Structure 1
Amino acid sequence: MSTTTVVRRAVPEEIELPGPPLLARLYAARGVRSAGELNRALDALPPPTSLKGLAAATGLLAAALAEDARVLFIADFDADGATACALGVRALRAFGARHVDYLVPDRQKHGYGLTPELVELAAERRPDLLVTVDNGIASVAGVAAAKARGMRVLVTDHHLPGDELPAADAIVNPNQPGCGFPSRCLAGVGVIFYVMLALRATLRARGWYTACGITEPNLARLLDLVAFGTVADVVALDHVNRVLVEQGLRRLRAGACVPGLAALAEVAGRPRERLCTADIGYALAPRLNAAGRIEHMSLGIECLLADDAGRALELARELDRLNRERREIEDAMKLAAFADLDALDLDGDLPFGLCLYDETWHQGVIGILAARVRERTHRPTIVFAADRDGQLKGSARSVPGLHIRDALAAVAARAPDLITRFGGHAMAAGLSLPAAHYATFRDAFDAEVRRHLAPGDLCGVLLSDGELGAGEIALELADCLREAGPWGQGFPEPLFDGVFEVAGCRVLKERHLKLLVRVPGQAAVFDAIAFGLAETVGEPRAGSRWHLAYRLDANEWNGSRKVQLRVEYLAPA
């Protein structure tokens, strides 16, 4: 298997940034070049006006309101799609819409997005307007089917478009050709939030609120959903997304959030008043996603739409149960996949681009498994599961240096009949292909990856922000860094490294290491936790010295808080 190395970030040129020198250096290392990029207030957001297709989109929605039309949201089965759907439904209802509903495709029956099969199901509800959220940009056939039935279609999406755009009545997607919006990184929930912002202004200009006798809604109340979906979808936290996430986190911490998110925090055991992006990404979002992976995402959307706290908690507990079931399925699949990888590695025949398939694997969990395999091998990975109609569904995860969607496009261009459909981003994508084509695709994908990556690219790299002195490893700095975010994809939480002496160690649940460490020559001892690393490094003995890469965290136990090192990497010094 490939190894991981720790590389220290280059120290950036001095830039005048506010705050302590350490924090200014951390910001500069993440590409911040002016104090304005650190402004996390709502007025730092760019206006919606530069989004291509916005006038047509707000026109469709305003007409639907005026006509008392039936609006049906077409959602997706992940957390971004669920939050985008809940936001759209809540916003339209706040604008006075009386006939607003949603539909989520069944992963097994309908596949991803607005397919012709899903249009058949949607037609039973007699919608006048379909609004896709977090999908639709690749739904050429589905949009055509909806138009043929007399439905109007508004596509809101953030995925990369293909060569052909669907013939929708309006498309809002910051990644479509000709869009001048300053951020290409909005999640699906961010796109629909901006559409609703523009609709609110359109309705204001038309005198809608006065005519209907309703109060103009404060859409900032929906930023908790925007923050949740943005973090869960692992989009890059550029300046726009950092503002959206920061503002949403403030609402979550203050309790000014939808009951469903508060309930998810409760069942996950994360104090709502101190929620951060890591809590969403690693604890809350997996529970919401479990609905779409194991059962049906309508359960998750209902949790986000619930206004009664008791009902929201009941749904959150069911999501928690599904997440435990998901973990059991994932563990079994991971065991089988890693056994296959070990066999391949023994033969010295590990491909550059990995494809894995087992007919027993659960389609809802292949994305997680692809991420786990990618983390272990540092190779672009696609994991497949069987569909009901003789197709294989694949979920792909990439590594720096390979744009996974473009790689799939290149394979499809060379062999047009090989892949049935595909779509996605630079680091994650999905595809389907006939089961009979699997072996041919596996070889073609490996060949395409080899065109872009060399052996040296297949090693994991942890970028460190350098070494902290013993006096800097303190609760005050941990709290300062926690507030200095939001951290996430493209704006990573600070990671430090250094040599430590082990003062004590015990293994938790046969997988995790609970350590006591000190800087050599210093008396102060610090708590450290290394999740999942006991299996690979064993149990460090007292007195031994280890090189650690870690993040500063605060550990709370029995009402007391103290600094803790959250270890990402350790190796003998």
Structure 2
Amino acid sequence: MAMARIVRRPLVDVQAGWPDSIPALLRRVYAARGAATPELAQPRLAGLLPPDRLRGLESATALLADAMAADRHIVVVGDFDCDGATACATGVRGLRLLGARRVSHAVPNRMVHGYGLSPALVDELAALRPDLLLTVDHGIACHAGIEAARARGWRVVVTDHHLPGPRLPAADAIVNPNLPGDEFPSKALAGVGVVFYLLLALRRHLRGAGAFGAGEPDLSTLLDLVAVGTVADLVPLDANNRTLVAAGLRRLRAGRGCAGLRALVEACGRDAARLTAADIGFAIGPRLNAAGRLEDMALGIECLLTDDPARARELAQRLDGINAERRAVQQAMTDDAEAALSRVLPGAVGAPLAPCLFDPEWHPGVIGLVASKMKERLHRPVLAFAPAEPGSAVLRGSARSIPGFHIRDALAAVDSAHPGLIERFGGHAMAAGLTLAQSQLAAFEQAWQAHAAGVLDDGLLQAELLSDGELLPREFDRFHAEALRDGGPWGQGFPEPLFDGGFDVLDWKVVGERHLRLTLRHPDRREPLAAIQFGGWQGQPPSPQAHLAYRLAPDDYRGGQAIQLVVEHRATA
């Protein structure tokens, strides 16, 4: 990571009324994140926002209900990332739970169809003879594909969460909390969250029509999928998203997740009973994403839809193998990117404020990961480009950003100033994608750097780590480590607790070529502490005294009461 400045969060008074089961340390952490009460800190499903104010639900549910009543063919069209895959599985499973008899699904292949509901995908879908398409996690930018579908006489319902452009597509209904004028309080829903809310509204619509008789379907059985897609898509975990994720994690920890997710937990060697949002983000999500990056996300969706445990394990093992291949490809591409950037170091004359990286041999499915790695390394916005397919004159780009620089808005500004330069783009504040002709790359880079120069300043380019302060000597124990681990879900907008302080480095060794294993002593504690810094070996021994930013974690490898510090940043004390 780029050299960072550690900034301690301001102390916030903790209100009374907390249960004894929540230790003082965790209460302090919650309060610093704006969760001043137990209800905000650990939200329950009873407090989930109702769907009432989500624009477009009335027309979308009416279209789906009519299609179901007439036994029409509904095709759920997914996307090739984890959010899109879980949203597709949620849509298919949910519609079937609610009584739809003719439900199929489809997903674009990154290398064949490009992003979302494209005209090429519509041509392929014609063989399924759909009556209604339900897009999940995409559609708001798919103007041509939606027009092609409607020209065939199909109805199109769009569910998406990406920011809309100046013109909305000509769909029959659009559900997106980020539409202009939408009054839904949580704008942070992932794609899977949007389709889950559509299903809640559809159940209410069908209930009013007397469709269920004595009992009605339990849509909470879909929350394991909602949790995985929400965490993997890195949307902010506001109170509503934390409600969804926490409920989904409870299902997974209890062994009640769908067969595919249970198999993926097993394949990545995690303990289901102690599963966290970090396990989703670093283990389960990447295995699902790998299918869409290197092969076909249809494999990941099949894993999420099967109810056969043996088939689920077979598919999970295949996804695990693809993910191993993805890691190797990513490492090679990251090495290439580091070599290219080493020739123009940040701070040098002419160094780019927002680097654009391109290699004709790179894989388009992995460029987002490369951009993310370089963004973390440099603390600068980074774009990485690759040919859309081998030898193609069209480039796919992935962009990753830093706080304070809205990457999707930055692309919109370049597009407005230079019409026709970018073929298409979309995304969020921190991540975006784009397509442009290779012949336009130099012109785009010039326009991009000019825009970045007008927005980025030294303050934005200084990485900051927000710390929850120092731990008390008595808080370095298993009880507090487990309380912090289980106190989440932690993630974007509700970050995992991070502490800082000075330590003596008693011993160290390099493990796995890139990582540092440390033995530390806290100045007010006699017993030494074990620590690990992933990627911490930079070729120089650590100083005898170090100031560390770290997470306190149970050390399940050693077991018992063992704990370890996971070092996020190390500086000479």
**TM-score where L is the length of structure 1:** 0.96
> How do 1:399-438 residues align onto structure 2 when only pairs under 5 Å count?
399-438=402-441
2:176 match: 173
| In 2, Cα distance between equivalents of 1:2 and 1:230 | 27
> Distance between the aligned counterparts of 1:343 and 1:44, measured in 2?
53
User: How far apart in 1 are the matches of 2:70 and 2:170?
Assistant: 23
Match of 2:372 in 1: 371
2:313 paired with 1:313: yes
Amino acid aligned to 2:431: A
Contact in 2 for aligned 1:470/1:524 (Cα 8 Å): no
Matches of 2:455 and 2:108 in 1, distance apart?
A: 35
Say if 1:500 and 1:548, in contact at 8 Å, map to a contact too. yes
In the alignment, residue 90 of structure 2 is paired with which amino acid?
Answer: L
1:480 paired residue number: 483
2:355 paired residue number: 354
Cross-structure match for 1:441: 444
Corresponding residue for residue 252 of structure 1: 252
Question: Percent identity, aligned pairs only?
Answer: 54
Aligned to 1:514: 517
1:40–1:247 CA contact under 8 A, matched in 2 = no
Tell me which amino acid in the other structure corresponds to 2:48. Answer: L
Distance 1:413 1:273, change over 3 A: same
- 1:219 matched residue in structure 2: 219
Name the SS for the 1:552 alignment partner: strand
1:560 alignment partner, SS class: coil
Deviation at residue 483 of structure 1 after TM alignment: 2.2
Q: Once structures 1 and 2 are overlaid, which stretch shifts more, 121-130 or 25-34?
A: 25-34
Letter in 2 for 1:538: Q
Residue identity matched to 1:460: A
Alpha-carbon distance between aligned partners in 1 of 2:50 and 2:569, rounded to the nearest angstrom: 42
Alpha-carbon separation, structure 2, partners of 1:557 and 1:90: 37
Q: Secondary structure at the match of 1:344?
A: coil
Partner residue of 1:110 out of 86, 108, 113 = 113
**Counterpart AA for 1:411:** V
Name the residue aligned to 2:562: 562
**Equivalence for 2:387:** 386
State the Cα deviation string for residues 472-523 of structure 1 (Å, max 9, x = none): 1111111111222111000001100111112222211111111121102531
Matching of residue 45 in structure 1 with residue 48 in structure 2? yes
CA–CA separation in structure 2 for the residues paired with 1:521 and 1:45: 44
Against the structure 1 CA distance between its residues 228 and 352, is the aligned structure 2 distance closer, same or farther, given a 3 Å change threshold? same
CA distance 1:107–1:434, shift in 2 (3 Å): same
Q: Which is worse superposed, 70-79 or 109-118?
A: 109-118
Aligned twin of 2:78: 75
2-side partners of 1:47 and 1:291: how far apart?
34
Matches of residues 71-470 of structure 1 in structure 2 within 5 Å? 71-210=74-213, 216-345=216-345, 348-388=349-389, 389-470=392-473
Cα distance in 2, alignment partners of residues 158 and 183 from structure 1: 11
SS in 2 for 1:549: strand
Measured against aligned partners, the alpha-carbon deviations of 1:449-480 in whole angstroms (never above 9, x if no partner) come to: 12111123212211111111222111111111
Pick from 493, 500, 505 the counterpart of residue 503 of structure 2: 500
Q: CA deviation at 1:558?
A: 5.9
Contact 1:513 1:539 in 2 (8 A): no
Q: Per the alignment, in what secondary structure is the counterpart of residue 363 of structure 1?
A: coil
Task: Tell me if the contact between 1:140 and 1:164 (Cα under 8 Å) persists in the aligned partners.
Answer: no
Q: Give secondary structure in 1 for the equivalent of 2:83.
A: helix
Cα deviation 1:252-271 (Å, max 9, x = unaligned): 00001001111111111110
CA distance in structure 2 between the partners assigned to 1:127 and 1:40 by the alignment = 40
Structure 1 position 100, deviation (Å)? 1.1
User: Residues 363 and 386 of structure 1 are in contact (CA less than 8 Å); yes or no, is this contact kept in structure 2?
Assistant: yes
SS in 1 for 2:509: strand
Contact 1:401 1:452 in 2 (8 A): no
Cα distance in 1 between the residues matched to 2:415 and 2:332: 32
Q: What's the offset of the Cα at 1:46? A: 1.1
Match of 1:540 in 2: 542
**What SS is found at the alignment partner of 1:209?**
coil
Query: What is the distance in 2 between the residues matched to 1:372 and 1:53?
Result: 37
Q: Which moved more, 1:262-271 or 1:387-396?
A: 387-396
Q: Is the 8 A contact 2:473 2:524 kept in 1?
A: no
Shift of residue 527, structure 1, vs aligned partner: 1.3
SS where residue 106 of structure 1 aligns?
coil
Q: CA offset at residue 152 of structure 1? A: 0.2
Measure the CA separation in 2 of the matches of 1:14 and 1:563.
27
Higher mean Cα deviation, 275-284 or 117-126?
117-126
How much has 1:540 moved relative to structure 2?
2.9
Counterpart of 1:27 in structure 2: which amino acid? Y
2:11 matches 1:24: no
Give, in whole Å, the separation in 2 of the partners of 1:121 and 1:170.
Answer: 23
- Counterpart of 1:180, as a letter, is E
Residue identity opposite 1:289 in structure 2: N
Mapped to 1, the partners of 2:97 and 2:542 lie a distance apart of 58
Secondary structure of the structure 2 residue equivalent to 1:345? coil
1: CA distance, partners of 2:560 / 2:34: 36
Secondary structure at the residue paired with 1:461? strand
Pair 1:47–1:461, CA change in 2 (3 A):
same
Distance 1:556 1:35 in 2: 28
CA distance in 2, matches of 1:318, 1:280: 18
Report the Cα distance in structure 1 between the residues aligned to 2:207 and 2:2, rounded to whole angstroms: 58
Q: Distance in 2 between matches of 1:171 and 1:512?
A: 47
Letter in 2 for 1:430: G
Which string of whole-angstrom CA distances, capped at 9 and with x for unpartnered residues, describes residues 114-146 of structure 1? 111111111121100000000001111111111
Is the 1:253–1:274 Cα contact (8 Å) retained in structure 2? yes
| Equivalent-residue separation in structure 2 for 1:204 and 1:173 (angstroms) | 23
88-97 vs 300-309, greater mean Cα deviation: 88-97
Taking the aligned partners of 1:416 and 1:295, their CA distance within structure 2 comes to 33
Give the secondary-structure state (helix, strand or coil) at the position aligned to 2:343.
helix
Describe the superposition over 1:334-355 as per-residue Cα deviations: whole angstroms up to 9, x where unpaired: 1110000000118543211110
Q: Which of 59, 62, 66 is the matching residue for 1:59?
A: 62
- Once the two structures are superposed, residues 35-89 of structure 1 have per-residue CA deviations (whole angstroms, 9 ceiling, x without a partner) of 4423521110011111101011111111111111111111100000000000110
Q: Is the 8 A contact 1:90 1:305 kept in 2?
A: yes
Contact 1:291 1:297 in 2 (8 A): yes
User: What CA RMSD, in Å, does the superposition of the two structures yield over aligned residues?
Assistant: 1.6
In the alignment, the residues of structure 1 paired with residue 453 and residue 11 of structure 2 have an alpha-carbon distance, to the nearest angstrom, of 32
**What does the per-residue CA deviation read over 1:271-330, in whole Å, with 9 as the maximum and x for residues that have no partner?**
011000111101111111100001000000000011011110100000000000001101
| Structure 2 segments unaligned to the other structure (5+ residues) | none
- Does structure 1 residue 489 correspond to structure 2 residue 489? no
**Structure 2 contact 258–304 (Cα < 8 Å) conserved:** yes
Rounded to whole Å, the distance in 2 between the matches of 1:561 and 1:258 is: 32
Find the aligned partners of 2:100 and 2:57 in 1 and give their Cα distance: 20
